[in-house]
Amino acid sequence: MEYVHYSVMADEVLHYLTPSPEGEATLVDCTCGEGGHTHRFLSSYPNLSVIGLDRDASILAKATVRMEPFGPRFKPVHIAFDVFFKGAEAEQYDLILFDLGISSYHYEESGRGFSFRKGETLDMRLDTDEPISAIDVVNGYPEERLADVIYRYGEERYSRRIARAIVSERRLSKIQESERLAQIIYKAVPPAYRHGHLHPATRTFQAIRIEVNGELDRIEVALSGALRALKRGGRIGVISFHSLEDRIVKWFFKGLAPEQVKILTKKPAVPTEEERNENPPSRSAKLRVIEKL
């Protein structure tokens, strides 16, 4: 089986989230994906067990096959991380990892319209059992609400123009494919904007994906539950990939320090130059780590 996702800052994550050599330990990988980080942990620490969470049943199935050599040390759970921690008992886990980025699997293999470079059905759901898809957002939101989503979650300066163009096009026919949406966005923005370092559809696609999956709304809820479920002396690490995520994590951790947690990354850890060159999407990644007092 082929695994397409590159696990960002794997060495740094293992450095900060090293289990105690004494006794058994449990790590919760809250965004297991194809299991890149989990595989490194299980390979490196024989006394460690991992609970791997993911909202996407198909990608979790790939991780489960990958972890078969580790037997019962790996337990997959198909669930959103905020929901998982709502039902978790207090002070039972040693280490918790959140990698908030979207897996390469979703762009390359899922077929759900995450990529603006492919002609796929506009879905963008991480959990296909959820009721709202990207088709519903693109074709159903009023123009003002759609523009607000694109501006708030994509930080897109041309959000009004893009929303206006989408609404105009959907009056002609329902927008159902990612490639068509990308073309609409491309034509909506000024010519000079079309040839920047980012494709002009990048921010809008990010915004729609965040809206569909409620990504930002889940972070603080999950972190609160994770802190409660973490043992004293345990650590939480969070990898974020854009300022909206990182801002939530940063201020949540600062609000807990110094009474409840010790912040181990005064400045967030970032990928090495070698990693950035090897995996360009890692360039925006930031790792923040706390230890529970």
Q: Do 122 and 57 reside in the same domain of the chain?
A: no
**249 and 172 share one domain:** no
Shared domain check, 89 and 41: yes
Residues 91 and 18 in one domain: yes
SS3 of 218, please? Answer: helix
What does the pLDDT look like over 145-170, one tens digit per residue?
Answer: 999 999 999 999 999 999 999 999 99
Model confidence pLDDT, tens digit, residues 87-97:
999 999 999 99
Q: Please identify, among 163, 186, 213, the residue that sits at the C-terminal boundary of a domain.
A: 213
Cβ neighbour number for residue 195 with a 10 Å cutoff: 8
Cβ–Cβ contacts within 10 Å for residue 144, how many? Answer: 11
What is the CATH classification number for the domain harbouring 34?
A: 3.40.50.150
CATH number at residue 162: 1.10.150.170
**CA separation for the pair 168, 162 (Å, rounded):** 10
Domain finish residue from 213, 246, 265:
213
Listed residues 166, 182, 213: the one ending a domain:
213
Residues 186, 150 share a domain: yes
In a domain, 269, yes or no: yes
User: Would you write out the chain's pLDDT as a tens digit for each of its 293 residues?
Assistant: 555 566 899 999 999 999 998 899 999 999 999 999 999 999 999 999 999 999 999 999 999 999 999 999 999 999 999 999 999 999 999 999 999 988 888 888 889 999 998 889 999 999 999 999 999 999 999 999 999 999 999 999 999 999 999 999 999 999 999 999 999 999 999 999 998 888 999 999 999 999 999 999 999 999 999 999 999 999 999 999 999 999 999 999 999 999 999 999 999 999 999 999 988 888 899 999 999 99
Domain limits at 53?
Answer: 10-105+215-292
The predicted-structure confidence for 200-216, as pLDDT tens digits, reads as follows 999 999 999 999 999 99
Residue 186 CA to its chain's centroid (Å) = 26
Q: How many domains does the chain have?
A: 2
